[in-house]
Structure 1
């Protein structure tokens, strides 16, 4: 109606265009959103000075869209323009309010500056610049505290933002401190069934999950779900978020069937949402694909990952960091299917995206480098790896501050790269640095510590230092036994690694004991054709062969071959290697 009455550039259309842009943004159609906001900008440029305050809102909205698109530098530019305008307007209006000539002008609210500071802080968090994010979030909180009473409903949001930064910095005690402060305010001013309490429960649950305290994490996430189910419509998107969070916890605990059930609930809800949120759909498809992958059904996993890809493609720019994450996922699936050319294509895409958008030492870039090099290594194309990715020496951690929260990740990834290339002393040094960093920042039973002990043990085993390898593998097993359910597949991995060391040491009875524990656990929790079962049968068969018990060796090796033929192409080299091994055993019976 307004467009029929007013010209296309009339200021009265600003609100209509704003509403239209918001709808397209919710639909994930960011190019259309930007197009409409550009019309708003053209109108604002022609409006009187008193209307120019709306430019600040325009800059802020543009920042939000570019943030969703993953174009953080453009988003930062618009947020900073918004902040600068708010400062300018505040300054001019505080001066003019004392003049009798402008009695109708009200001072610009300082709380708007807090909002912009918070927006810029979120960008810095997304970019991994946690120190700057912390400074800006703290400034936003202080601006609010200077204008609001102590239990004001606007304060929990700022406290949550600070908690999120501390969580990203792996300072879980500080993260809990701020999340609990936010919860305390919400509990003081809101009814006991208010949906906002669920936000606090979820945040606290995430921290406990990161700490490896899955029972506590489940407790808080279930509280969030119960509250949402009792107060929100059955198709509300927040319910899908709760289902997703609980599904992830069960996945981490090894309860794949339960995880699948919750992930499926989240997917069904997200399919019916209007407008469709393609980012959330992509996450749901990915999560279900991951469960199939864990259960050993890589072909179905790949289909879900492809569905995830289609949805990501609808909302993400080509350089968006989440696109890189998606290519990592696809690369992982193709690698598991032993389709190395396609795996390499996916990993290389991820590496190129991150090379354009991240600092050279960003841990995510190091991870992409590591994944791509691993595939080149599988294909025995080391010179090609150097040609397309550069040598490992081009990625270093010298420019990172020792307080950088992701430094341990970089050390870990570089350690894996160097180990794959045979640089074992360098790999050992890097893995030990990663372990020291984690020990400073994580609880003593955190699962990431077990990962570091495993990495160190693997290098020691490659070096023939079996006593040190055994000690580190046992340390990893001890941590996992303390925090994981007794049927978790990672325990089977630990048993198998310890069995491999005993086998290398020639202690075959001990090797069979630990390989047997791993096989028993895997038989209880995995699909009959899972590749990990083939590995267990193969390992036990190899031990019996080493003991010259060829009849038992044949039994286990043939079981391994049956599984491998189900999951690998007939011409795959792994099948031929196993056939050769079986022929050797048969010749000695």
Structure 2
């Protein structure tokens, strides 16, 4: 078909999707950009495939913590899908879901929540109550509630999502592992440690089995389990896992990613608990630098680390 054909663009896009799912973001980006350019050249700016490419590129930027780049592309994709497909289409629901996820990452919970609710209602209406996209959106909305300490609202959504995901996809699927992790996170926030720990361990084992040892989701599960151990005062176990998560995140995501900053912050807090203040101060400084540059000075994560650093210095 030659280099300039819609099917070539589709193949470029699909290969990029695979790389994104594997956490190979640097390899995915140029393919997404090529696919988008080729689709615009061949199909024009107003075509559903162009909207799909915009959506996929925005999702990639979100995973890379490039939020200021992701937001306008998500908004453009949503507007184009509504224009071309109408308000009631699964692709519109997908864009609403993804935009909710972006705002959730940024701590913009009041903006995220209505998009997630709209996406959930639309997926249920168009695809039925038993569909993987419904389960994913239940997860997304539950996380938004969890981060706002709306635990009684989050828990039934996560339990429903877990049951639905297992029913539709089987017990051994990354979405099952993710839901187990999210439910454990909720229990951890509530101090329900004995319920959280086995779920974290199940999620970690499943992610390793399905995705391999070197995947960003594995790093997230290591970090979360370490967080639980720290809350329980199991410092030596927590430190080992925090260090593993940090090393894996740096390897996979680079030194400037938001998740690397989270690892710095968590390890710093652990060292504070142990009275290792000089080590903690350095880690807080590194976390604050990344958060300020990635999320801005007023983001909740930035503010929290800044206060932790100030409190530490006041104590010293």
Into which bin does the TM-score normalised by the smaller protein fall?
Answer: 0.7 to 0.9
- 237 and 523 in structure 1: CA distance in 2 versus 1, 3 angstrom threshold: same
Give the corresponding residue for 1:290: 59
Moved over 6 A (4+): none
Give the corresponding residue for 2:105: 336
- Structure 2: distance between partners of 1:356 and 1:437: 17
- Structure 2: distance between partners of 1:433 and 1:352: 18
Alignment of 1:443-482 (within 5 A): 443-482=170-209
Give the gaps of 5 or more residues in structure 1. Answer: 1-231, 364-403
- Conservation of the 8 A alpha-carbon contact between 1:237 and 1:273: yes
Q: Higher RCO, 1 or 2 (CA under 8 Å, sep at least 6)?
A: 2
Give the corresponding residue for 1:515: 242
- Structure 1: distance between partners of 2:166 and 2:253: 32
Residue by residue over 1:67-99, the C-alpha shift from the partner in whole angstroms, topping out at 9 and shown as x without a partner, is xxxxxxxxxxxxxxxxxxxxxxxxxxxxxxxxx
- Conservation of the 8 A alpha-carbon contact between 1:534 and 1:563: yes
Please report the TM-score for the alignment, with normalisation by the length of structure 1: 0.48
Residue by residue over 1:135-165, the C-alpha shift from the partner in whole angstroms, topping out at 9 and shown as x without a partner, is xxxxxxxxxxxxxxxxxxxxxxxxxxxxxxx
Cα shift at 1:463: 3.9
Give the corresponding residue for 1:558: 285
- Conservation of the 8 A alpha-carbon contact between 1:237 and 1:270: yes
Cα shift at 1:355: 5.5
- 468 and 309 in structure 1: CA distance in 2 versus 1, 3 angstrom threshold: closer
- 292 and 352 in structure 1: CA distance in 2 versus 1, 3 angstrom threshold: closer
Give the corresponding residue for 2:270: 543
- Structure 1: distance between partners of 2:98 and 2:174: 21
- Structure 2: distance between partners of 1:353 and 1:446: 23
Whether 2:25 is the aligned partner of 1:259: answer no
Cα shift at 1:438: 3.7
- 527 and 352 in structure 1: CA distance in 2 versus 1, 3 angstrom threshold: same
Q: Which has the larger radius of gyration?
A: 1
- 251 and 468 in structure 1: CA distance in 2 versus 1, 3 angstrom threshold: same
Cα shift at 1:339: 4.7
Partner of residue 47 from structure 2, selected from 253, 273, 278: 278
Give the corresponding residue for 2:258: 531
Give the gaps of 5 or more residues in structure 2. Answer: none
SS in 2 for 1:328: helix
Please report the TM-score for the alignment, with normalisation by the length of structure 2: 0.84
- 292 and 357 in structure 1: CA distance in 2 versus 1, 3 angstrom threshold: closer
- Structure 2: distance between partners of 1:452 and 1:313: 30
- Structure 2: distance between partners of 1:243 and 1:254: 17
- Conservation of the 8 A alpha-carbon contact between 2:177 and 2:202: yes
Cα shift at 1:332: 3.1
Give the corresponding residue for 1:156: none
Greater helix proportion: 2
Cα shift at 1:477: 0.8
Give the corresponding residue for 2:152: 423
Q: How large is the RMSD of aligned CA atoms in angstroms?
A: 3.2
- Conservation of the 8 A alpha-carbon contact between 2:180 and 2:199: yes
Whether 2:211 is the aligned partner of 1:442: answer no
Structure 1 stretch displaced more, 564-573 or 517-526: 564-573
- Conservation of the 8 A alpha-carbon contact between 1:319 and 1:357: no
Alignment of 1:150-169 (within 5 A): none
Give the corresponding residue for 2:5: 236
- Structure 1: distance between partners of 2:191 and 2:107: 28
Partner of residue 323 from structure 1, selected from 69, 92, 97: 92
- Structure 2: distance between partners of 1:352 and 1:431: 18
Residue by residue over 1:156-189, the C-alpha shift from the partner in whole angstroms, topping out at 9 and shown as x without a partner, is xxxxxxxxxxxxxxxxxxxxxxxxxxxxxxxxxx
- Structure 2: distance between partners of 1:554 and 1:409: 38
- Conservation of the 8 A alpha-carbon contact between 2:90 and 2:126: no
- Conservation of the 8 A alpha-carbon contact between 2:219 and 2:245: yes
- Structure 1: distance between partners of 2:115 and 2:35: 29
Cα shift at 1:263: 1.5
Cα shift at 1:314: 4.1
Whether 2:114 is the aligned partner of 1:348: answer yes
- 411 and 556 in structure 1: CA distance in 2 versus 1, 3 angstrom threshold: closer
SS in 1 for 2:291: helix
Give the corresponding residue for 1:11: none
- Structure 1: distance between partners of 2:15 and 2:116: 29
- Conservation of the 8 A alpha-carbon contact between 1:296 and 1:526: no
